[in-house]
Amino acid sequence: MTAPYLNDERLVDLLIEQATAGLGSEELAELETLISRYPNTDRTEIERTVAALTLAGEFKEEPLPARVRERVLTAESAMRGRAATSDLTERARSRTPAAAAPSRAGAQAGWWAAAAAVLIAIAGWYPRLASRPVVAAADSGRAELIASTPGLVRWEFAPPGGPAPKAASGDVVWDPVSQRGYLRLKGLDANDARQSQYQLWIFDGERDDRYPVDGGVFDIPAGRTEVVIPIVARLRVGKPALFAVTVEKPGGVVVSGRERIAVLAKAAST
């Protein structure tokens, strides 16, 4: 049986054009007007027909490059991580009224310049994996990890390019065996999670620098001078070389634009 809308030549022309080359705004508006005359119309019938016919093209399918595959997996991981932890983030937000966005980060020109120097060779940031976003303080867990892990490694946060007006500080402890660690930060401004969140990135010396590990997003509650945040990487980080915290949109990003780097920590001692 032919659906009624298929007798409307102009409507079908527009649906075909939309499915094959796309429509401009005026044509799109016209399409919406026309299709509204046919309630319960499946507007994807033509589009699905076009997609099905595409499969008859004589082009050979090329294998998906491994690098692209990894990008897709990374993005999926980040998407799933954000969805799974949005509730945690929301709860943390409700417990700790957010203060102003971390605007100080934008004023620390020396930090930006130093960060840019450190990262100058990096063509583009694509996180290799996403870990669980982190939101809660974990002082006792950090202390327990330090006490029970002889092979623990530690990195200090320090401005890499000279003094900052109000330098943030802190450290990272990381157990390469259990792949667990904690981020301890002091002096970072509280963030308004509705506007921005902090995001951790881990550069792995055994991997391509263009693909830092996404360490998840976290918030700095108002009134806290120090926060301890657990790091849980779902894929192995072989040789951490640099930790970076950026300020990103709520929920974090898959690819950081690096415009707002809050702190950096390079491997210093083991």
For another protein, the closer of residues 66 and 121 by Cβ is 66
For another protein, the closer of residues 172 and 213 by Cβ is 213
Give the other-Cβ count within 10 Å of 205's Cβ: 12
Report the SS3 class of residue 9. Answer: helix
For another protein, the closer of residues 234 and 266 by Cβ is 234
Sheet of 169-175: strand order equals 213-218, 197-204, 240-248, 261-266, 153-157, 169-175, 180-186, 226-232
Give, rounded to a whole angstrom, the gap between the first and last alpha carbons of the chain. 73
Shortest Cβ 258–another protein spacing (Å): 17
Shortest Cβ 121–another protein spacing (Å): 18
CA 156 to each of CA 120, 131, 175, 176, 212: distance values in angstroms, whole numbers, following the listed order: 21, 21, 15, 17, 19
For another protein, the closer of residues 48 and 239 by Cβ is 48
Shortest Cβ 144–another protein spacing (Å): 29
Task: For residue 78, give the nearest of 151, 20, 132 by alpha carbon.
Answer: 132
Shortest Cβ 110–another protein spacing (Å): 33
For another protein, the closer of residues 67 and 194 by Cβ is 67
Instruction: Name the DSSP class of 128.
Output: S
Shortest Cβ 109–another protein spacing (Å): 31
Shortest Cβ 30–another protein spacing (Å): 14
Q: Is 257 exposed, middle or buried (0-12, 13-18, 19+ CB in 10 A)?
A: exposed
The residues of the shown chain that bind another protein, judged by CB under 8 A, are 2-3, 6, 9, 12-13, 16-17, 19-22, 24, 40-65, 67-69, 71-73, 75-76, 79-80, 254
For another protein, the closer of residues 3 and 117 by Cβ is 3
Distance in angstroms (rounded) separating the CA atoms of residues 242 and 202: 6
